[in-house]
Amino acid sequence: MSKVEQSSKLDLERIVFIGRTFEEYLDMFSLSEEELQGKKILDCPAGACSLTAVGNKLGLDVTACDIAYYHSDEDLENKGLQDIEHAMEHMQKVQNNYKWDYFDDIEGLRKHRLSALQDCANDMRESNERYIPVTLPSLPFRDEEFDILLSAHFLFMYADRLDYQFHIETLNELLRVTKGEVRIFPLVDLEGKHYEHLDKIISYLVDNGCTVEEVKVSYEFQINANSMLKIQKG
């Protein structure tokens, strides 16, 4: 492992390796499988999501990137199993902060999370080249390498830990590697509050030639987390 990789590698215990299913992605980002056909797609950061695994089996062209991928697929799968169990225990205490029409109950949620993890872990073993380790706000891809970039449960969600400047630098990098559009979900923090600098970020993007739209989506699990930001490059 190079010195760069060593310095970028986040301690496994600090990573929460939980992901969403392919179907959740379509709902979160208001997309259909047909819309993604023929496009080069980046999931960033992808975690244990199954968009890449399932998408490529369906003939899509999806790449995943995440800081977690500096670790082995076996270590990540084991961490993911632990994280799901921990999350389900926690969910018992906070389930009133969530809407349960998508999953029905905690057991239904557990099945979705385990399904995403299993698909992701299996695909990492079979097609490891699709899973690129990265440390945002820097990405190792060419300018405009992807047609569409999907970014879930990272930007805006951790506003208490990631400052405004980090958001701007990361957005600039996401846009650099994308020729068409970037979609970000959700637009709230972990407490369900709208990201406080969202208007400022939208103004910045518009000033830099982007068309920006806040789009309501059909997916809502965390209360108030039911819209995404659709950023079209100028």
Residue 7 confidence (pLDDT): 44
Predicted confidence band of residue 190 (pLDDT cuts 50, 70, 90): confident
Q: What is the pLDDT of residues 16-54, one digit of tens each?
A: 999 999 999 999 999 999 999 999 999 999 999 999 999
* pTM, rounded to two decimals: 0.94
List helix spans (H) across the chain: 3-8, 22-28, 33-36, 51-57, 73-94, 106-126, 164-176, 198-207
Q: Is the pLDDT of residue 6 over 60?
A: no
In the DSSP assignment, the letter for residue 140 is -
Q: What is the pLDDT of residues 96-119, one digit of tens each?
A: 999 999 999 999 999 999 999 999
In the DSSP assignment, the letter for residue 97 is G
Q: Would strands 131-133 and 61-66 be described as parallel, antiparallel, or unpaired?
A: parallel
Q: Is 213 helix (H, G, I), strand (E, B) or coil?
A: strand
